[in-house]
A and B are shown apart, each in its own frame.
Chain A
Amino acid sequence: MSGDLEEKFMRRIERGEKIESTDWMPEEYRKLLLKQIHMHGISEVMGAYPEKEWVPKAPNLRRKLALIAKVQDEIGHGQLLLRLAEDLARPLGKRREELITDVFMNRVKFHNVFHMEAPTWADAGIIGFLVDGGAIITQASLLETSYAPYARVLQRICAEESFHMQHGESIVLALAQGTDAQREMLQGAINRWWSAMMFFFGPKAMSGAAQRMMEYRIRSKTNEQLRQKFINRYVPRVWALGMTLPDAKLKQDLETKEWSYTEPDWEWFGNMVRNNCGPKSQERIALRREAHEGQAWVREAMMAVAVTA
């Protein structure tokens, strides 16, 4: 019976049909999607933390407004994605509260880049330029996902990310046109983030789960395809700014168009993401816990209002 359903489901996928949250789906599909969207949503939320650190220290009012707007967008994207995760998790007996608390129980991972330090204003710019650039490439590759609610939400997310991209580039361009000290600060930030960006897209040899996601058309590009697209767009731009990248191996094969690059320290980054032991992991997770637990009384008080209304 279930084998029959699964076969029908796969035929829908192969025909390029989109799946809705209320449609029958194999448990494996549901779980892979949930893991992907949950991690995506939590990464949006945790992604706000390195940037929010710069809100009080932004160099002028316009930058401050833009940074606040961006932090708002990231949290908003987290909300949209967690809502999708919630629908997927319901038949598995998991609810919103757990989806949120999982991050401080170490039960869901978030992107490696958000475990890292952002010590200078140039880091705030590089996060918008490279990290958002990488995130946009990943998200754009998911626009054709077989799960319709995810595809619809991603359209909105990508549209809003287009401002994040411009905001990051604006900071980077201003610094690149600035004083020697500003250019040096920019170079320092590039050096700090580059290898983390190579890790961001994941290993060349993809996990069994990632393979299954390709078969279910949850995603359609390999880690390496995404990394190559990122390198191809961003390396020439960093070089054009007169900046260097901390990788002597970066070179494009003129025939195959493939870029060679130095592998990031997979072990070190992998361990950081699994065990939340990056330079800023614990501090940011503690802030997240504080926000969630500290506001518990507000969520409860709102329920009282809803009952009496």
Chain B
Amino acid sequence: MEAQTNPVHYDVYEVFIQRDSLVQHQHVGSLVAPSPDLALQLARENFLRRDVAVSIWVVKQDHIHATATEDADILANQVLDKSYRNVSGYSDNAKKWKGFKERAITIDDLVNDMKSDG
């Protein structure tokens, strides 16, 4: 056997799979491949042997810019109370509506309205 003097090197691709048109692509892992085309094929072999999907993206790992692990505290987003920004911060609306003999409605009620005809 001849010693390998020039080992083949494949680039790393990060793989994103979209399972349905209405959801965003989701990162599922990575692989190595000699070209974007082959990375797509291999992604199907490695990550989609069973599940249904509508689209695959592969992105060269070098092309991904990420936040530093040390910055995670900024993303934790819990330093200050943000209840004023969330539906849960307005739970007394329901009580007040009751006082006016009306039921509180939620966004889901309005979304469900669309599912009925007319």
Chain A residues with CB under 8 Å of chain B are 17-18, 20, 62, 65-66, 69, 133, 136-137, 140-141, 143-144, 148, 151-152, 155, 158-159, 161-163, 165-167, 169-170, 173, 176-177, 221, 225, 228-229, 232-233, 236-237, 240-242, 257
Residues of B43-90 at the interface with A, using a CB-CB cut-off of 8 Å, are 55, 82, 84-87, 89-90
Q: Decide: A233 near B114, CB < 8 A? Known: A173-B97, A240-B100.
A: no
Write out the residue numbers on chain A whose beta carbons fall within 8 Å of the beta carbon of B106: 162, 165
Write out the residue numbers on chain A whose beta carbons fall within 8 Å of the beta carbon of B96: 173, 177
Contact B107–A170 (Cβ < 8 Å): no
Write out the residue numbers on chain A whose beta carbons fall within 8 Å of the beta carbon of B102: 236-237, 240-241
CB distance from A284 to the nearest CB of B (A): 25
Q: How far is the CA of A142 from the CA of B42 in the complex (A)?
A: 36
Any chain A CB within 8 A of the CB of B6?
Answer: no
Chain B residues with CB under 8 Å of chain A are 21-24, 55, 82, 84-87, 89-90, 92-93, 96-97, 99-102, 104-107, 109-111, 113-114, 118
Q: Decide: A158 near B111, CB < 8 A? Known: A152-B23, A163-B87.
A: yes
> Lowest 8 A-B CB distances belong to which pairs?
A166-B90, A162-B107, A18-B21, A240-B102, A173-B96, A66-B84, A69-B85, A148-B21
Write out the residue numbers on chain B whose beta carbons fall within 8 Å of the beta carbon of A20: 21, 55
Q: Specify the main secondary structure of chain A where it touches its partner.
A: helix
Write out the residue numbers on chain B whose beta carbons fall within 8 Å of the beta carbon of A151: 21-22
5 contacts between A and B (CB under 8 A): A136-B110, A137-B113, A140-B113, A152-B22, A152-B24
Q: How far is the CA of A161 from the CA of B85 in the complex (A)?
A: 10
Q: Decide: A233 near B113, CB < 8 A? Known: A169-B93, A170-B90, A242-B100.
A: yes
CB distance from A291 to the nearest CB of B (A): 23
Contact A240–B114 (Cβ < 8 Å): no
Residue of A nearest to B95 (CB): A173
Q: How far is the CA of A229 from the CA of B118 in the complex (A)?
A: 8
Write out the residue numbers on chain B whose beta carbons fall within 8 Å of the beta carbon of A163: 85-87, 89-90
Residue of A nearest to B111 (CB): A140
Q: How far is the CA of A18 from the CA of B18 in the complex (A)?
A: 13
Q: How far is the CA of A173 from the CA of B35 in the complex (A)?
A: 60
Contacts A136-B107, A167-B90 supplied; 14 other A-B pairs, CB < 8 Å: A18-B22, A66-B84, A69-B85, A137-B110, A140-B113, A144-B114, A152-B22, A155-B22, A165-B107, A169-B93, A177-B99, A233-B110, A236-B102, A237-B97
